[in-house]
Copies of this chain bind each other. A is one copy, B any other.
Amino acid sequence: VTSPDPIASLVAGVLERRPRAVARAISAVEDGGEPQREVVRRIYDRTGRARVVGITGPPGAGKSTLVDRLARLFRSRGETVGILAVDPTSPFTGGALLGDRIRMQALYTDPGVFIRSMATRGAMGGLAPATRDAADVLDAAGFDWVLIETVGVGQDEVDVVRSADTVVLVTLPGLGDDIQAIKAGIMEIADVFVINKADREGVERTARELKLAMELDEAGRGWVPPILKTVASIGRGVEEVAEAVTRHRAHLEASGELAERRRAQLRLRVETILQRRVLSAADRRLGLEREVERAAAQRLDPYTVADAVFAGVTNLGKQAEVLP
């Protein structure tokens, strides 16, 4: 028998932390459209309790290993952990990361851990919005920790980690300028720096470089991001990472910054939804493609076209073509 309100039974399952319901709710937010909105609407007042941590850094830095070690540590304390492994670069690494994760999931027969891969191709409404909504699902399901792991590249990624209360940037000894450049944009929003594989040469130099870059960027922020050294593969330094994340959370609460960050997160989410909404309204109400074809044929400039389309979208009564 199917429920008369499938979303209601899905949400009920999420709130009881039933793994299949959690998985299906995340699929719903990936699929986009009305189910995505409805799931979030109905669980939202049950969110806000989980500690949401973004773990980012270049490929090969050992993020997955660190996440795995952190999860085991939290479990050993009786805390529950939801993990979102975000992989926007599917053509090359998608399969590999997903494969890693499937192997990793197999390690956990533990219902206190939930692991999910998120990929661009699965997220119809955009990767960052789907990831934020999935974090809400895990939060509403009562997981104490939500760990969002993502490769630190580009704007999509920055948007993803902005969903986190605490951002951990994982790097390696001896990464040159090339990789530093890639991390720009992430650097500014990192709350904790981790130099993983710290048994390798160059760790002190990398620490100095990070410290220098930080001093340039982070003056007067009230929280001085610690620079930690780990060898995640053997568990070294992992407790210190957990401790730094916990300290950062306490700082956010004590300083009032937690409320401020969450307001900024809400604004970012609202803005993203608005941006998608205006495009879908332009498509649905006006047929954006047809308007663009007419504009291209007439060699109209993009600002004139956008003005006409925006006027058409905001003028609900009028369904006619907007361009001459």
Identify the A interface with B (CB < 8 A): 37, 40-41, 44-45, 48, 58-60, 89-93, 151, 153-157, 177-178, 180-185, 187-188, 213, 216-217, 259, 262-263, 266-267, 269-271, 273-275, 277-279, 281-282, 288-289, 292-293, 295-296, 299-306, 309-310, 313-316
Question: A59, A267, A301: which has the most chain B beta carbons within 10 Å?
Answer: A301
* Total copies of the chain: 2
CB-CB under 8 A from A155, the residues of chain B are: 154-156
CB-CB under 8 A from A177, the residues of chain B are: 59, 92-93
Q: Which secondary structure dominates chain A's binding surface?
A: helix
CA distance A304 to B309 in the complex (A): 24
| Docked-complex contact A154 and B157, CB < 8 angstroms | yes
CB-CB under 8 A from A277, the residues of chain B are: 278, 306, 310
CA distance A59 to B274 in the complex (A): 34
Question: A177, A181, A304, A316: which has the most chain B beta carbons within 10 Å?
Answer: A181
Closest chain B residue, CB of each to CB of A157: B154
With A177-B59, A178-B60: A271-B266 Cβ-Cβ less than 8 Å: no
With A154-B155, A154-B157: A273-B93 Cβ-Cβ less than 8 Å: no
CA distance A310 to B282 in the complex (A): 13
CA distance A48 to B216 in the complex (A): 43
| Docked-complex contact B89 and A59, CB < 8 angstroms | no
CB-CB under 8 A from A314, the residues of chain B are: 281, 313-314, 316
CA distance A90 to B180 in the complex (A): 11
Q: Nearest Cβ in chain B — how far from A296, in angstroms?
A: 5
Q: List 24 A-B contacts (CB under 8 A).
A: A40-B301, A41-B304, A45-B301, A48-B299, A91-B184, A91-B187, A91-B213, A92-B183, A153-B153, A153-B154, A153-B182, A154-B154, A262-B296, A266-B295, A266-B302, A267-B289, A269-B302, A270-B288, A270-B302, A270-B306, A270-B309, A281-B314, A314-B316, A315-B316
Q: Nearest Cβ in chain B — how far from A29, in angstroms?
A: 11
14 other contacts beyond A155-B156, A270-B305, A313-B314, with CB at 8 A cut-off? Answer: A91-B216, A91-B217, A154-B155, A154-B156, A262-B296, A263-B292, A267-B289, A267-B292, A269-B306, A270-B309, A271-B279, A273-B302, A274-B309, A274-B310
